[in-house]
Chains A and B, each alone.
Chain A
Amino acid sequence: MIKIKLIIEAGESNGVLNLLITDNKKTIELKPKIKSGLNEIDFKLETPNVLIFEVSGKTPRDTVIDKASNKILRDKYLKVLGFHIDDKPLDTHKVQQMFVLDSEKNGKIQSSYWGFNGTVAFELTHKDSLALHLANKL
């Protein structure tokens, strides 16, 4: 079993997104209570495994855009800021690149910013946490 810590920033716009965390081996099913701002989610997991994040609760009216500048004024989103394996963080640049959101309507998006409903599958390819860190080095 390895320890995982996720640090997720949640953006609020008509509430926050829902997150369901499961795995390929069906050993976990977490529905963390997401609050606006920073959230820390800790759990243990058998590896190798695939973590599955299901993001839901987004509607078109949750992203508010300034039409003049085309900038987002307010959004309902989740952004992964940190991913710790056995108490050691992965490189933040790696975290920014390592997730692919398979969104319901916008195809696949490689980003740690999840602003659509969809699913993210993240493969943890090794049993040992040292090996997992080495496999996820930038």
Chain B
Amino acid sequence: MTKAPIKLLITTVPWCVTESPLMAPALLKSMCVQKGIDTVATDTNILFLNFVEKNFDAQKISELQEFFYHDTPNPDIKSVTKVINFMVDSMLAHRPTHIALSLFTYTSQVACEWLCFQLRKKAPDIKLIIGGPGVFNTLRSETNFGEKLLEQKQIDYYIKGDGDLSLPELVLKDEKITGVNETTWQQLDDLNGQPFPDYSDYDWSLYKNKSVGVVGSRGCVRHCTFCDIHEHWKKYQWRSGEDIFRELIWHNTNSGVTKFKFQDSLINGNQLEFRKLMKLLAKHNDDNPQNKITWSSFFIFRPQKQMPEQDWIDISKSAELLTVGIESLNQDVRFHMGKKFTNKDMHYCFDMCMKYNIKVHMLLIVGYVLDNEQTHKETMDWFGEYKHYQDIIIGVSFGGTLGVLPGTEIFRRQEELGIELKDKQFDHQWSIQKTGNTPQVRLRWSREQTEACANAGFKIMSSMDNHLLMETMMK
């Protein structure tokens, strides 16, 4: 009997709260097509989000999210089976021989587990592959999720790291290769000159935010103590400004898209290439006032000498939104985190944003390991003192309270910092007795800082993720 030709479906797995397309399937499709593999790339996450919005009321959606985030017992079986079957049927409609599920975060694991189960049952011959940071970055479990599903024979392979290389090779060879079913992997040598993401299979009518995702870099130039990115991306890699610009123009020419969302940890990690990109975009937008390209991205504030005023002028020509991880309004706390900008630097950047009308989404962490009542008070006072920044700070996100994630500097330095992790399965339940930094205190700080911020007139950007996290802490 002849073997059926390979038909690969690459798709995302919920739950990821976003209004934009997730990029991984589109990027991986390009790599697989380049290797001659018949590939379809879809965004099941957005299909799912639209499906639940149409089929369930707010209460039921909240219950579903609770289940998919925390794997809670006694879920509403009818609702869960309905959404799982909807997703499975939509995947099987493509008649794939291989399905690659992309897990963006740990909150994709529950859906992934039951999707794989139903896929195995309904189409046992399909090869199932999972990958993405969500396979490893677990909040509530110390086990390797990929290994668990592999042992249970619910999947054929899991991929660690750059699927760009390993996915097409794996699909073609159908055998274990480097980075497959193991935790070691090789990063791509060079991000430049790679094929551009192919979004042609995505249903654009489903997105409220029709921006296209772009990767300008992988990894991060900072080593923030609370962040585990270096567990995943060992070294920082970047694309040249010219290569990124070529991609933006390619999408713009082929699909007319003008809004782009960088998936980078920070767009300006390599200041030189970032500056080149800004200049190219500024020129394009000056030359094409009817077809301006805009972008949003995570962004890092830098001292004035690294980012003189001309940089801000160029940025203002194309930036739609900078999402900036300020994380703490106290300079000492921020430096301990590994953020290398002073309060003076921070206010310089905000002032530049004010001057050139560049919008900022400010991210803050409540209850860092150095925080105490004094730093808490300073934070609340800042909002009143700098309320004029409301013109450009379009939202403030208090990212829950600090979680001591495995793979982070603060996790490794628990003893030195006096951190007592109360529940290894839930890394937000930690205390430092000598400073009174406990979950209950952090919840109060979070409430009071949020109130102070809102009372000063800033807009709070709250997310369901954060709400669920806080509820779990209160239990």
Contacts and interface: CB of A to CB of B under 8 A. Distances in A.
Q: Do A and B come from one complex?
A: yes
B145 to A, nearest CB: 14
Contact of A129 (B75, B121, B152, B154): B121
B152 A134 contact: no
Contacts of A98: none
Interface in B148-169: 152-154
Contacts of B154: 88
A35 interface: no
B77 A126 contact: yes
Closest 3 CB pairs of A and B: A134-B77, A131-B77, A137-B73
B81 A131 contact: yes
A88 to B, nearest CB: 5
A8 B414 CA distance: 42
17 contacts: A86-B117, A86-B120, A86-B121, A88-B117, A88-B154, A89-B152, A126-B77, A129-B117, A129-B121, A130-B117, A130-B121, A134-B77, A134-B80, A137-B73, A137-B74, A137-B75, A138-B73
Contacts of B73: 137-138
A136 to B, nearest CB: 9
B114 A130 contact: yes
Contacts of B153: 87
A93 B332 CA distance: 46
B75 A134 contact: yes
A133 interface: yes
B375 interface: no
A16 to B, nearest CB: 28
Interface string A99-138: 0000000000000000000000000001011110111011
Contacts of A126: 77
Nearest to A132: B77
A130 B74 CA distance: 13
Given A130-B114, A137-B75, A138-B73, 18 more contacts: A86-B120, A87-B120, A88-B117, A88-B120, A88-B154, A89-B152, A126-B77, A128-B81, A130-B84, A130-B85, A130-B117, A130-B118, A131-B81, A133-B114, A134-B80, A134-B81, A134-B114, A137-B73
A87 B153 CA distance: 8
B71 interface: yes
Interface in A56-93: 86-89
Nearest to B120: A87
A126 B81 CA distance: 12
A97 to B, nearest CB: 12
Is chain A's interface secondary structure helix, strand, loop, or mixed overall? mixed
Given A126-B77, A128-B81, A138-B73, A133 B152 contact: no
Contacts of B152: 87-89
Interface of A: 86-89, 126, 128-131, 133-135, 137-138
A32 B245 CA distance: 68
Given A87-B153, A89-B152, A130-B114, A135 B77 contact: yes
B112 to A, nearest CB: 13
A126 B73 CA distance: 16
Contacts of A133: 114, 117
Contacts of B120: 86-88
Contacts of A88: 117, 120, 152, 154
Nearest to B85: A130
B61 to A, nearest CB: 18
Contacts of A137: 71, 73-75
Nearest to A3: B121
Nearest to A138: B73
Contacts of B81: 128, 130-131, 134
Contacts of B77: 126, 131, 134-135
Nearest to B121: A86
Nearest to B151: A89
Nearest to A134: B77
Interface in B82-135: 84-85, 114, 117-118, 120-121
A128 B77 CA distance: 10
Nearest to B76: A134
A126 B74 CA distance: 14
A133 B67 CA distance: 14
Contacts of B85: 130
A35 to B, nearest CB: 24
Nearest to A85: B117
B241 to A, nearest CB: 49
A75 B120 CA distance: 39
A88 B151 CA distance: 10
A133 B71 CA distance: 12
B452 to A, nearest CB: 41
Q: Which of A88, A89, A126, A128 has the largest number of chain B CB atoms within 10 A?
A: A88
A126 B77 CA distance: 10
A86 B80 CA distance: 18
Contacts of A86: 117, 120-121
A130 B85 CA distance: 10
Interface string B60-80: 000000000001011101001
Contacts of A138: 73
A128 B152 CA distance: 19
B29 to A, nearest CB: 29
